[in-house]
Amino acid sequence: MSTAGKVIKCKAAIVWETKKPFSIEEIEVAPPKAHEVRVKMLATGICRTDDHILSGSIKANLPVIPGHEGCGVVESVGEGVTIVKPGDKVIPLCLPQCGKCRPCKHPEGNLCEKTDFFDIKGVMYDGTSRFSCKGKPVHNFAGTSTFSEYTVLHEDSVAKIDPAAPPEKVCLIGCGFSTGYGAALKTGKVKPGSSCAVFGLGGVGLSVVMGCKAAGASRIIGIDINKNKFPLAKELGATECISPLDYKKPINEVVLDMTDGDGVDYSFEVIGRPDTMIAALASCNLNYGTSVVVGAPPSAADITFSPALIFTGRTWKGTIFGGLKSKHDIPKLVSEFMEKKFVLDPLITHVLPFHQINRGFELLHKGESIRCVLVF
Ligand code: PAD
Ligand code: ZN
Ligand code: ZN
């Protein structure tokens, strides 16, 4: 029996209060309105950004259903939707691409004006939510909310992908992989033969390592306080790995020592801490080095740094979604994955049923997982 046009009752993971585990609740998902798409989720990865919502370090309106790294199949579409139809396999876009705003039209831009990452509202374009629980509206996150059996996306936030793509793998292309890989190739524009340092070897940092390797970097220094991350980092392309905990001097001085005082050509901060953002900046060459901030800063954090760090010529950049244009680049990355141009399997250390989401976050907190994928 078709569910199109009807309210769907299903399970979702809700944050009612920060610093508490998710509650798995029965929710009601309203049908998609005009230019919206209702999607049945097949798989979703757990990204540190979801944990920032859970911990409250990124402020969201509560209650909220997080999750932004998923893959699903279209259940029904609202009026006027032509880009997808029921049955299409899709990746929700945590960074939308409306195609009409200035950043969408700019060749180097990707921060679509429809983005809901800053001053987070957690509602659809008409100001209302499609989710409710116990009679109360529930907010969405990043316009995606993949921690739900069904979600509703605006058509700006959906990309159709190869129907043969395995959802429990390509869901990573919805955020972590693309962010890291794009940070190296698109934002950093790493050159062949160059040296790189990657601070933080989680799912996103390891994707930066893969991007640096794909760009032809000859030296990739992986940096993490958790040495358990080192073997995989080396498997994916890191030429050496170091832990700041093994040294008395600041880690940027260690990187300078390792590079005859030159510093690396490119450094990437993939943790989300102001102190490591400065350390990464100071690790790249003082004249022609480029440092890219990938880690999401806590909502409340400011950075104090010496202007001398950039006065000598360093470039300091940020990146959102690896500088990629989501709707345009995601289907291409999925095709490249299907053509075996890069791997995702090593990043996926755990696969759990959706109802074990709290176990998945425990693995992240304990530093035991790289990417834990939840399947529905
Ligand atoms: P993760 O928690 O899996 O990885 C972070 C890694 O950093 C872990 O291996 C930690 O052990 C390591 N670490 C923590 N503290 C330190 C330290 N002081 N020195 C060295 N290493 C340390 O997270 P992730 O890979 O999922 O995400 C990384 C960051 O990227 C996080 O802040 C997330 O919010 C952000 C992100 N940004 C975007 C974007 O568009 N810019 C997209 C996706 C994720
Ligand atoms: Zn993410
Ligand atoms: Zn746009």
pLDDT tens sequence across 156-192: 999 999 999 999 999 999 999 999 999 999 999 999 9
Ligand 1 close to Cβ of residue 186 (< 6 A) = no
Specify the residue with its C-alpha closest to ligand 1, atom 39: 320
Handedness of CA 208, 245, 360, 118 (dihedral sign): negative
Whether 302 and 359 map to the same domain: the answer is: no
pLDDT (tens digit, 9 = 90+) per residue, 319-350?
Answer: 999 999 999 999 999 999 999 999 999 999 99
Q: How confident is the model at residue 305 (pLDDT cuts 50, 70, 90)?
A: confident
pLDDT for the residue 303: 86
C-alpha span between 187 and 27 (Å, rounded): 39
Specify the residue with its C-alpha closest to ligand 1, atom 29: 295
Pocket probe mutation, ligand 1, options 58, 112, 204, max atoms within 8 Å of Cβ: 204
CATH code at 274?
3.40.50.720
pLDDT for the residue 310: 94
Ligand 1 close to Cβ of residue 224 (< 6 A) = yes
pLDDT for the residue 374: 98
- Record the tokens describing residue 235, joined without a space: 């498997």
Whether 245 and 184 map to the same domain: the answer is: yes
Ligand 1 close to Cβ of residue 331 (< 6 A) = no
Ligand 1 close to Cβ of residue 150 (< 6 A) = no
- Record the tokens describing residue 350, joined without a space: 């755990």
pLDDT (tens digit, 9 = 90+) per residue, 76-86?
Answer: 999 999 999 99
Whether 262 and 299 map to the same domain: the answer is: yes
Whether 212 and 252 map to the same domain: the answer is: yes
Whether 288 and 358 map to the same domain: the answer is: no
pLDDT for the residue 302: 85
Q: Is the pLDDT of residue 299 over 80?
A: no
Distance of CA 288 to the CA centre of its chain: 28
Query: Which percentage of the chain shows pLDDT scores above 70?
Result: 99
Ligand 1 close to Cβ of residue 269 (< 6 A) = no
pLDDT (tens digit, 9 = 90+) per residue, 186-214?
Answer: 999 999 999 999 999 999 999 999 999 99
Whether 352 and 286 map to the same domain: the answer is: no
Ligand 1 close to Cβ of residue 251 (< 6 A) = no
* Domain housing 297: 177-322
Whether 272 and 316 map to the same domain: the answer is: yes
Q: Give 308's contacts (C-beta < 8 A, 6+ positions apart).
A: none
Identify whether 201 is part of a domain. yes
Ligand 1 close to Cβ of residue 229 (< 6 A) = yes
Whether 273 and 373 map to the same domain: the answer is: no
C-alpha angle 351-356-358 in degrees, rounded to nearest 5: 110
Identify whether 77 is part of a domain. no
Q: How confident is the model at residue 282 (pLDDT cuts 50, 70, 90)?
A: very high
Q: How confident is the model at residue 220 (pLDDT cuts 50, 70, 90)?
A: very high
Whether 202 and 306 map to the same domain: the answer is: yes
Q: How confident is the model at residue 138 (pLDDT cuts 50, 70, 90)?
A: very high
Identify whether 137 is part of a domain. no
pLDDT for the residue 298: 73
Distance 100 CA to ligand 3 centre (A): 5
Q: Is the pLDDT of residue 297 over 80?
A: no
Q: Cis (ω within 30 of 0) for the bond into 21?
A: no
pLDDT (tens digit, 9 = 90+) per residue, 85-103?
Answer: 999 999 999 999 999 999 9
Q: How much is the average pLDDT of 346-370?
A: 97
Instruction: Enumerate the H helices of 215-284 as residue ranges.
Output: 230-236, 251-258, 274-283
Q: What are phi and psi of 117, to 5 degrees?
A: -90, -25
Distance 123 CA to ligand 3 centre (A): 17
C-alpha span between 82 and 80 (Å, rounded): 6
Distance 206 CA to ligand 2 centre (A): 13
Q: Is the pLDDT of residue 275 over 80?
A: yes
Q: What are phi and psi of 24, to 5 degrees?
A: -85, 120
Identify whether 261 is part of a domain. yes
Q: How confident is the model at residue 300 (pLDDT cuts 50, 70, 90)?
A: low
The SS3 call for residue 360 is helix
Q: Is the pLDDT of residue 259 over 80?
A: yes
Q: Is the pLDDT of residue 247 over 70?
A: yes
Question: Parallel, antiparallel, or unpaired: how do β-strands 23-29 and 240-242 relate?
Answer: unpaired
Identify whether 300 is part of a domain. yes
C-alpha span between 79 and 154 (Å, rounded): 12
Identify whether 235 is part of a domain. yes
Identify whether 57 is part of a domain. no
From residue 24, alpha-carbon distances to 21, 70, 283 in Å are: 9, 18, 44
Ligand 1 close to Cβ of residue 179 (< 6 A) = yes
Distance 201 CA to ligand 1 centre (A): 7
Mean pLDDT check: name the lowest of 58-62, 128-132, 268-272, 300-304: 300-304
Specify burial of residue 326 (Cβ count, 10 A radius: 0-12, 13-18, 19+).
Answer: buried
Whether 301 and 355 map to the same domain: the answer is: no
Q: Is the pLDDT of residue 60 over 80?
A: yes
Residues at Cβ < 5 Å from ligand 2 ion:
47, 49, 175
Whether 227 and 359 map to the same domain: the answer is: no
- Name the β-bridge partners of 267: 197, 291
Whether 208 and 250 map to the same domain: the answer is: yes
Identify whether 227 is part of a domain. yes
Q: How confident is the model at residue 304 (pLDDT cuts 50, 70, 90)?
A: confident
**What is the average pLDDT value for the chain, to the nearest integer?**
96
Distance 212 CA to ligand 3 centre (A): 28
Domain count, the chain: 2
